[in-house]
Amino acid sequence: MNAPDLRLEPPRRWNVEIDGVRWLARLADKARAAHDGTLGTYLYGHSPMDRSFLAVLGLSHDDFARLAVQNDDDRLVASLQAYDPALQRARAWSDVLPKRYGWFLAILDIDDGYRASPLYGAISSGADAISGLVKRILPSKYRGTGNT
């Protein structure tokens, strides 16, 4: 499974769906990049949005990372159905995502470069500073060891 290099490009956009589930593609990209040591400034194991999504699936970051690294997107969906049959809970979470977190997703789109804004510099610098601070205060065990 090839992981994206998130030091060079952003993960897939939050609204990219895998089997009708938003955020899953983005989270899989981050898990795979963390495993390969190419996470860059992105968070894996820290993000409240990731944590919320994984809680719906009933998975830990460790469990999800293992599944994401071992499987392509199609097989990942099949693996996740053992935790959430037909991904019903994940789809319900995904359906309310833009309504509940629209403001956050707009900022995320600007920071990732998916949406142009004159605020890009400030948002990107702020996001990188927050990410760096979080990683210093709460070091992640996802450092490309190949053991996730």
In a domain, 132, yes or no: yes
How many domains does the chain fold into? 1
Q: What is the pLDDT of residues 13-34, one digit of tens each?
A: 999 999 999 999 999 999 999 9
In a domain, 145, yes or no: no
If pLDDT is split at 50, 70 and 90, which confidence band does 137 have? confident
> For tokens 């194991």, what's the residue?
45
Q: What is the pLDDT of residues 62-92, one digit of tens each?
A: 999 999 999 999 999 999 999 999 999 999 9
In a domain, 7, yes or no: no
Here the tokens at position 124 are 């990107």
Closest among 6, 2, 9, 13 to 108, alpha carbons compared: 13
In a domain, 64, yes or no: yes
Given this model, what pLDDT does residue 45 score? Answer: 84
In a domain, 11, yes or no: no
